Structure 1
Amino acid sequence: MRVAIVHDWSVGYAGSERVVEQLIALFPQADLYFVADFIPPTQRAFLAGRTPATTFIQHLPWARRFVRHYLPLMPMAVETIDLSGYDVILSSSHAVAKGVLTAPGQTHICYCHTPLRYAWDLQHEYLREAGLTHGFRRAAAIGLLHYLRIWDVRTTHSVDLFIANSNFIAARIRRVYGRDSVVVYPPVDTEYYTLSEEKRSYYFTASRLVPYKRIGLLLDAFRQMPGRRLLIAGAGPDLARYRHDAPPNVELLGAVPQSTLRQLMQHARAFVFAAEEDFGIVLAEAQACGTPAICYGRGGALDIVVEEETGLFFRQPSPLSLCEAVGRLEARTAGWDPHHIRRNALRFSVQSFHSNFLRAFESATLNPEVRHLQQVGS
């Protein structure tokens, strides 16, 4: 059985690349195809010495820095990948990878991190980042994104089985594509992120510093709680602005080594999480350290955190709602059991990902009755 793994563009080792890493581990003889590969040399270990084949996006001017600006060309790019010699195609898709061309007799399994977010949920953010805020160029871009939505829905017909990374994404797949999916949580390195019973007084979060992560909300909330200390790890285009806006009790650490990240997670009083994420691997890592969470009660966090057992939710994306949740956490007299919090996180281990993914893979490739499963979204 010849297997191909197809992934969107990549600029580093992040959540979707962790899935690719484990697909390579499960199918070491598979061939790799990326829409574009701009992964730095220091982060390429997850490829196990492999060099993915890429599309023409790789060679476009300034693509390394502005690859997302070429999104309108990516449907054409992914359709140039010749997969005619393969029995099974595994696409790891948060944008266009699921749109590869397949033929009768091939099985296409799509691990969907999200439907094409830049054409659906994040259209306005994409337009701002690309500098398309007014005039004819904005109107043209909106027209292209409309085309991308049509293309995105049309290409679902080539997928035999959708695998969603959370129940939140499974619901989004049903809403956007009209298809059912199997939920297989992404892999979390629970062997590296280990339990610590020693908790200190600071609160902690780790995030890429971009608008949808809602770091500004955290700054505003902790400005109203001057007696609490918040540490924020992570880099991104908004780092300088957040450092300028941060109150004295909030410290932005920038990018930190993985060992420091683990230590900060292990000893935090609570991990604070304000974004509405597709899943939220960093939140699961913190739970693997036995650290309770205070998180916005939407998105993948609902799959990770068990309310009142491993953390608390705040229901509105507002500083007041977050402050109230911090108060509830500090007023809790029963305390938190770090061992129970970690046991909950073991559901997301690498071993669990392997067994659950292989079960879905076998259902799609070995049982004729489930070929083209959910094609009508029943």
Structure 2
Amino acid sequence: MKTALVHDWLVAYAGSEKVVEELAALWPTAPIYTLFHDPASMLATPFEGRDIRVSSLNRLPGSARRYRSFLPLMPFAAEQFDLRGYDVVISSSHAVAKGVLVSAEQLHLSYVHSPMRYAWDLYQQYLEEANLTSGARAMLAKVILHYLRLWDSTTANRVDVFMANSQYVARRIWRTYRRPARVLYPPVQVERFDPGRPREDFYLTLSRMVPYKKMDLIVEAFARSGKPLVVLGDGPDRAKIEALATPNVTLLGRQSDAVVADLMERCRAFVFAADEDFGITPVEAQAAGAPVIAYGKGGVLESVVPNRTGVFFGQQQVTSLNRAVELFETHPGFDARIIRQQAECFGPAQFATGATMIVDAAYAAFQRQEDPERAVMKLDALVKEE
């Protein structure tokens, strides 16, 4: 079974790249096709030294830094990958990777982290945040996104089997493409955390500082309450967030994995305010034995168990978050062992078993000239029965 992997871009080592890392470990001889690749950002990661094949867009000046500005050209570039000769193509897609061209003799499985949110459910929010609500530039952006929606819908027919990183995303795949998706939770390196360390009197949050992550909401809430908060991360909104910080809020910027693990193992609780497709950091916090205080929407509803491993707040508002913190502080206590057990449901071994089972079932059905999607959905039903 000759296999190729496809990923939108490899310019940072983040959550979707960790999924590709595990897929690459399962199929170690498979080349990785990607639109953009920044080798410097992949040093000392499993991608260093891999067979990575890039699109023509990667040769454009400044592409590694300005890759998002080439969005209108990405669908065309993805269709230029020559994937002839592979029996199976596995795409990892949050933008255009699922739209690669394959023949009727090839099986295409797509692990969708999210349908393009800026083209679909975050369309209006994206335009507002980019100040593209009126004028010629706004009209051009709307035309481009309209084209992307048409292309994105059409290319769903190029996928034989969809996989989703959460039930939340599976519902959005159905809403966007009218296709079922088998849920396969992303792999979280739970073993690198020690859940047994004593808790200290500070809260922790970690994220990229971009609008939808709502880091400004968390900082403002703790600035009002006066409770100690440590903030990890960097991004375009950093100046805005720094302006909101008060002396009880400590901003440390981006930190190493070792520092992140140390703080997660010692914090009183981890705070998460985003409407996220899955949310790896809340699972990492639970692996470290830390309770989670999270906005009760999105993938976090599938990883955090209320009153056992954390608490939820109902609105992305300062008062709602602070009420949740007060509720957390009146809780009789969270057991770090139970919290860790919950995180272990999302380990790399579970991902590897699930991915192998799905691909094998789909490929076996495909060889029999049967519907691979139906075979995978039937497999899902059998697993639930067990």
**Same-fold call, TM cutoff 0.5:** yes
Tell me the SS of whatever aligns to 1:36. Answer: strand
Q: Which residue of the other structure, out of 324, 341, 358, is the alignment partner of 1:343?
A: 341
Report if aligned partners of 1:12, 1:39 keep a CA contact under 8 Å in 2. Answer: no
Q: Show CA shifts across 1:163-192 (max 9, x none).
A: 000111011101111110100000100111
Equivalence for 1:273: 272
Distance of aligned partners of 1:110 and 1:42 in 2 relative to their CA distance in 1, 3 Å threshold: closer
Shift of 1:130: 6.2
* Alpha-carbon distance in 2 for matches of 1:94, 1:268: 32
Equivalent residue for 2:361, pick from 357, 360, 363: 363
For the pair 1:352 / 2:350, whether they are aligned, the reply is: yes
CA spacing shift, 1:139–1:44, aligned 2, 3 Å: farther
Which amino acid in structure 2 is aligned with residue 269 of structure 1? R
The aligned amino acid for 2:23 is L
Aligned to 1:261: 260
- C-alpha displacement at 1:72, in angstroms? 1.0
Q: Which residue of 1 aligns with 2:106?
A: 106
3-state SS in 1 of match to 2:36: coil
Q: Secondary structure at the match of 1:366?
A: helix
Structure 1 residues 306 and 99: alpha-carbon distance in aligned structure 2, compared to 1, 3 A threshold: same
1:119-198 matched pairs, under 5 angstroms = 119-124=119-124, 126-127=126-127, 132=132, 134-198=134-198
Q: Write the letter of the residue equivalent to 2:119.
A: A
Using a 3 Å threshold, how does the CA distance of structure 1 residues 214 and 23 change in structure 2: closer, same or farther?
A: same
Describe the shift of the 1:42–1:23 C-alpha distance in structure 2 as closer, same or farther (beyond 3 A).
Answer: closer
| Counterpart in the other structure of 2:292 | 293
Instruction: For 1:352, give the aligned amino acid.
Output: Q
Write the letter of the residue equivalent to 2:264.
Answer: M
1:89-112 deviation per Cα after TM superposition (whole angstroms, max 9, x unaligned)? 000000000000011121000000
Distance of 2:21 and 2:43 partners within structure 1: 12
> 5 Å matches for 1:76-115?
76-115=76-115
Distance, in Å, in 1 between the alignment partners of 2:7 and 2:243 is 37
Distance in 2 of aligned mates of 1:88 and 1:352: 22
Q: How many residue pairs are counted as aligned between the two chains?
A: 374
CA distance in 1: counterparts of 2:258 and 2:45, whole angstroms = 17
Residues in 2 aligned to 1:182 and 1:39: alpha-carbon distance in whole angstroms: 32
Give 1:73's aligned residue: 73
Given that 1:170 and 1:182 are in contact with CA atoms closer than 8 Å, whether structure 2 keeps it comes out as yes
Unaligned runs of 5+ in 1: none
Please give the alpha-carbon distance, in whole angstroms, between the structure 1 residues aligned to 2:124 and 2:243: 25
**Shift, 1:123, TM fit:** 3.1
| Structure 2 residue matching 1:35: 3-state secondary structure | strand
How far residue 51 of structure 1 moved from its aligned partner, in angstroms, is 4.0
Give the aligned partner of residue 233 of structure 2.
234
SS state at 1:251 partner: strand
Query: Which residue does the alignment assign to 1:221?
Result: 221
Amino acid paired to 1:290: G
Answer whether contact 2:31 2:51 (CA < 8 A) is retained.
no
For residues 48 and 42 of structure 1, the distance between their equivalents in structure 2, rounded to whole angstroms, comes to 6
Name the structure 2 match of 1:252.
251
Is 1:8 equivalent to 2:17 in the alignment?
no
Q: Is the 8 A contact 2:11 2:42 kept in 1?
A: no
CA-to-partner distance for each residue in 1:24-45, whole Å, 9 max, x for gaps? 1000011110011124255452
Task: Report the equivalent of 1:26.
Answer: 26
Tell whether the 8 Å contact from 1:160 to 1:373 is kept in structure 2 after alignment: no
Q: Shift of the alpha carbon at 1:213?
A: 0.6
Instruction: Quote the Cα distance in structure 1 between the aligned partners of 2:168 and 2:212.
Output: 17
Q: Which residue of 1 aligns with 2:383?
A: none
Instruction: State whether residues 13 and 44 of structure 1, in contact with CA within 8 Å, keep that contact through their aligned partners in structure 2.
Output: no
Counterparts of 2:267 and 2:341, CA distance in 1? 18
Amino acid at match of 1:104: A
CA distance in 1 between partners of 2:314 and 2:247 (Å): 26
Tell me, in whole angstroms, the C-alpha distance in 1 between the residues paired with 2:193 and 2:217. 27
Q: Distance in 1 between matches of 2:73 and 2:219?
A: 38
- Name the amino acid aligned to 1:313: F
Any unmatched runs of 5+ in structure 2? 377-386
**1:127 shift after superposition:** 4.4
**Letter paired with 2:321:** L
Q: Distance in 2 between matches of 1:374 and 1:237?
A: 44
Aligned-pair CA distance for 1:270: 0.4
CA contact (8 A) 1:164 1:182 kept: yes
Q: 1:42 to 1:52 in 2, by over 3 A?
A: closer
Q: Indicate whether 1:311 and 2:310 are aligned.
A: yes
Task: Note the C-alpha offset of 1:46.
Answer: 2.0
Distance 2:196 2:40 in 1: 32
Is the 2:161–2:181 contact (alpha carbons within 8 Å) kept by the matching residues of 1?
A: yes
Encode CA deviations 1:27-72: one digit per residue, 9 max, x unaligned. 0011110011124255452215214111121122332222111111
Which segment drifts farther, 196-205 or 79-88?
196-205
Which moved further from structure 2: 190-199 or 347-356?
190-199
Structure 2 length as normaliser, TM-score? 0.93
Partner SS state of residue 54, structure 2: coil
Change (3 A) 1:251 1:141: same
Deviation at 1:196, TM superposition (A): 2.6
